[in-house]
Structures are given as C-alpha cells and as structure tokens.
Amino acid sequence: MSGGRAAALLLVGVLIGGISGGATATYLTRRADESTGQPATSAGIPIASAPPAASGGVDGEIVGAVQDLLPSVVTIINYAANGQPQSSGSGFVVDAGNGYVVTNNHVVEDTRTNGTGASFDVVFSDNKKVSAKLVGRDPFTDIAVMQVAAQGLKAATLANSDNVPVGALTVAIGSPLGEFQNTVTHGIVSAKGRRVAETSQVILEDLIQTDAPINPGNSGGPLLWAATHQVIGVNTLGVTQATGINFAVSSNTVKQIADEIIANGKVVRGYMGIQYSPLTPRQAAQLGLPTGTIGIIVSQVVAGSPAEQAGIQPNDIITKVNDQVVDADHPLSSLLIKNRPGDKVKLTLIRAGKEMTVDVTLGQPPQ
C-alpha cells in the first residue's frame, strides 16, 4: 500500500498487514502503527499522578497488566464508502463515561486517499461489536479519537510517561494483521525521547522505543508499563530492517492531543503565513552565502499574515526557529508542531547577506 500503513489491510476477506515506506532517519519502513508532558492535575483525560505499587514477579506483572487492561483494548475496523472493510487496527478506551477511544491517525485514514474511512466498527475483547464515530485526528502526531456508546466500558489509565524508566517492563496488546485479536507481547523500554521521520513532512517527536514486538494491525494499541498497569504510549511504528526496534507515541503527547481533539474536533496550530522551499547548495553559492548554509527560502508572504506583520519578506532565508536549525531532519512544520495561535517564535534569517532575528506571533490558520 502506498506510503505503507501498519493498520492491517483487508483484502478478499483476508487481513493482510500493511508496510510503510522509506528508511529510518530518512524514513521508517513499517507503521505498526513524547512531546510535551502534562501535569497530573491537568483537566481532561485523567493521567496518573504516581504509579501504584508493583506486584511481585515478572510473570505476575505481565499477567496482572493484561487481565486489568484487556477489557479496555479494541480492534477497529475501517470501512470504505462501498461498505467493504478496507483496513483494521487497534485502540483503547481512555474515557469510559463518554466513550472516547484513542487510536492512530493512520488507522482511520482511507487507504486510497488523504481522507478518512467512511465508517468504523469497534470490537471489544469479548467480541462485542459496536459502531464508532470519528471525533477528530491529528496527522502530525498520528493520534485520532473515536467515540462509542458509553455502556459498560472500562478505561485504561494513562501514565505520566516522563516517569517511566528506561528498562521498564512493557506489554503491548493489539490485533496484529487484524486477525489475531487480543495478542499480547512484551519487552522493555529501550529508550525515550526518540525522534523519527514518518514522512518527508511529518516527524514524530519524543517517542518511546521498545523491543516489544509490534506488527501491522497493532497500530493504535496500548503500550503498557507492566508494573503499574498504566498506558505509557500508543504503538505506532516499527522498523522492518531491524528486529526489536519499535516506537510508541508517549502517553503525555496522547493526553495533550486527545484533549484538544475532544474539545475542538481538531488540533489548531500556530499559523505563520509563508510559502517556501529548501535552500539548495547552488542557490546558497549564487547568493554568496558561506559553504554549508542551510535553511528555507521564502517565496511568498501571505498578505495580512503574522509573517507580513513581523516584516518577513520574499527571498528571506530562514535558518533557525527558536535557535533550532531548519533542515531536512527538522522541517519548519515539525519545529512549529507544539506551537499554538498566540505563541511567539524567534526566527533567525539572512536578508541581503546579513543575519538578523525576527519575532513572529503566530495566528489562527485561515479557514
């Protein structure tokens, strides 16, 4: 499948795992599909203030976590406009009272377009199937929120992912290939704060790396901290060229994005109002810039935009955003992903061969 999603594809009644394209760092090759930490007392989806005491023994931790969390985990079936299932993935209940379910954005996408599936079903661990509606989605963090009827649900608890130590025992639950429902795998937290390019424009930030096996169809399912029975991430990416390198969107990012989606139906990010292209080495040489200068060159400034109000001009070369270099690994869209309307960002730019800094107060994106 184009772009390769790790929501499992359903073809002629058989569920087949999708594969994602690219090379790590460069780009990842399979989607099995941490950022801003949220305080434990923030509003919205509950987040644990402190982990409960762990039960004794590794087996006890894993079994206890599975028994506790399995009723919260679901399989999501994505239907095309013709009513045929086109893909499937996993998810989990985060708010039992309101029926909110978290999953990956790519689980709810239409496999042929940039839109979403026409309709969705959710299947619980007891095989109960219910219809679900899409509340909203955020491609830049690969998070989506769905809603089902709030009847007899059990919610998983989101951990504060800042608290989970490297080496902690992890458990992943989901439906690999869309066929093997309620599959449990385990591993450890291999690393935190990973940054992975999902596409040329989407770079997922502050991911949790785990060696718990994550396969196509596990997308959107929970990564659990076995000792605490809490969700530390949403399984989202796996590397096909290597064994045991998988990634989950951290629970702190999940909370932030899911709360915004529930409140607004979408995530609204700060708007600058420029069109641009990467600065090529040839352009840099023609402009007499030092060898190795990298950044983006502004081709157009939208009238009345925050960029125009800040004095940004066509042919300005933006080299840094808040002191972070703008390059292929740090595109502008990724550097602004945490910013909201009203936030101020500092741009370092070159104009007529001279370096300067400009502050831009981001605005609301045009409707």
Active site residues: 106, 142, 219
Chain-centre distance for alpha carbon 39? 20
Q: Do 158 and 230 form a contact (C-beta atoms < 8 A)?
A: yes
Q: Helix, strand, coil % (nearest 5) of the chain?
A: 15, 40, 45
Nearest Cα residue to 73 out of 53, 101, 95, 115: 101
Q: What is the DSSP string of 156-182?
A: PPBP-GGGPPTT-EEEEEE-GGGTSTT
Sign of the CA dihedral 132, 137, 141, 142?
A: positive
- 């990298």: which residue's tokens? 294
Q: Name the residue type at position 32.
A: A
Beta-carbon contacts of 243 under 8 Å, excluding residues fewer than 6 positions away, are none
Burial of residue 324, with CB atoms counted within 10 A of its CB: 0-12 exposed, 13-18 middle, 19 or more buried: exposed
Q: What is the DSSP string of 12-77?
A: TTEEE-----S-BTB--SB-----S---TT-SSS-B-SSPPPPPSSHHHHHHHHHHHHGGGEEEEE
b/e string for 118-146 if b means 16 or more Cβ within 10 A? Answer: ebbbbbbbeeeeeebebbbbbbbbbbbbb
Burial of residue 113, with CB atoms counted within 10 A of its CB: 0-12 exposed, 13-18 middle, 19 or more buried: exposed
Beta-carbon contacts of 119 under 8 Å, excluding residues fewer than 6 positions away, are 79, 83, 131
Nearest Cα residue to 122 out of 141, 150, 97, 157: 150
Both tokens of 298, joined, read 């502004």
